[in-house]
Amino acid sequence: MEGKLPSEQHILSAFDRDLEAIQALIMKMGGLVEAAIMDAAVSLETRDEELAERVRKEDRQIDELEELINQEAARVLALRSPAATDLRTVLSVLKISANLERIGDYAKNLGKRTSVLVQMAPVGDSGGALRRMARAVADLLKDALDSYAQRDAELALDVRMRDRDVDQMYNALFREFLTFMMEDPRNITACMHLHFIAKNLERMGDHVTAIAEQVVYVVTGSLPEDSRPKGDRTSYVAPEVEDD
């Protein structure tokens, strides 16, 4: 699908400025979300209540940006009647901002649970493991946003495949928390919170995947056809009989 994207400018240059402006807002929102993911994970590992509190507070900025993007996209649709790639760009802006907003919510939830978890004894090296998982998610998000900025469908498809790594990290943590809980019921409260954090990070990965799929849609005009590889196997985990 090479040569698909018209590199020429619009005859009406204000149209170009509008499209650039809403996409700049997406990049700004993406940057804030990336930072929120890492800040939340670091606050958990370093038991930094203040940082966790900041992540919770700053989610409002992300929500406000989403609202602004919705308004701007509606304005472009109403005033410019975009067609073809322009139309797909505006539609993708709406979907990407919705996904970013959800990721921001999960980061905020991570901050909330951190405030509870710092009151309890740490469970193993769960903080480090979760931070590594958060890093993987933030890297995926960064690549997804780069693929959007550069209209790079190849990179977007790569992001979509790499979400499986995040799923596998979640599987491992799921089993680890299960083991901690079975070993000592006093771990249950903390492990429940930690499990939700892991699950939320895994969900963030799915939203990043949805963003990557929007990039493919903008560039090629259709969503990726093959179904996405799913790595989350925890739905099939049953209580194990004592055999190991």
Partner 1 sequence: MEDMRLMERTLATNQVKVAAKGVDVFYGATHAIKDVSVDILDNMVTAFIGPSGCGKSTFLRCLNRMNDTVSVARVTGDIRLDGEDIYDPRVDPVQLRARVGMVFQKPNPFPKSIYDNVAYGPKIHGLARSKAELDEIVEKEAKDRLKEPGTGLSGGQQQRLCIARAIATSPEVLLMDEPCSALDPIATAQVEELIDELRANFSVVIVTHSMQQAARVSQRTAFFHLGNLVEYGETGQIFTNPRDPRTESYISGRIG
Contact set with partner 1 (CB under 8 A): 3-4, 6, 8-12, 15, 81-88, 221-222, 225
Nearest approach in angstroms of CB 235 to partner 1 is 30
**Cβ nearer to partner 1, comparing 85 with 234:** 85
**Cβ nearer to partner 1, comparing 47 with 151:** 151
Cα distances (Å, whole numbers) of residue 37 to 76, 103, 135, 136: 30, 8, 8, 10
User: Could you please report the per-residue DSSP string of 172-210?
Assistant: HHHHHHHHHHHH-GGGHHHHHHHHHHHHHHHHHHHHHHH
Question: CA–CA separation, 154 vs 148, rounded Å?
Answer: 11
Cβ pair 124, 179 in contact under 8 A = no
Nearest approach in angstroms of CB 30 to partner 1 is 25
Backbone phi and psi for residue 69, each to the nearest 5 degrees, phi listed first: -60, -40
Cβ pair 134, 205 in contact under 8 A = no
Question: CA–CA separation, 222 vs 225, rounded Å?
Answer: 8
**Cβ nearer to partner 1, comparing 14 with 172:** 14
Nearest approach in angstroms of CB 84 to partner 1 is 5
Nearest approach in angstroms of CB 8 to partner 1 is 4
Query: Within 10 Å of residue 185's Cβ, how many Cβ atoms?
Result: 9
**Cβ nearer to partner 1, comparing 84 with 188:** 84
**Cβ nearer to partner 1, comparing 24 with 84:** 84
Question: CA–CA separation, 178 vs 124, rounded Å?
Answer: 13
Question: CA–CA separation, 104 vs 211, rounded Å?
Answer: 14
Query: Within 10 Å of residue 76's Cβ, how many Cβ atoms?
Result: 21
Cα distances (Å, whole numbers) of residue 192 to 25, 113, 197: 36, 10, 9
Cβ pair 101, 43 in contact under 8 A = no
**Cβ nearer to partner 1, comparing 15 with 196:** 15
Nearest approach in angstroms of CB 85 to partner 1 is 6
Nearest approach in angstroms of CB 168 to partner 1 is 31
**Cβ nearer to partner 1, comparing 10 with 102:** 10
Cα 50 from chain centre: 23
Nearest approach in angstroms of CB 121 to partner 1 is 55
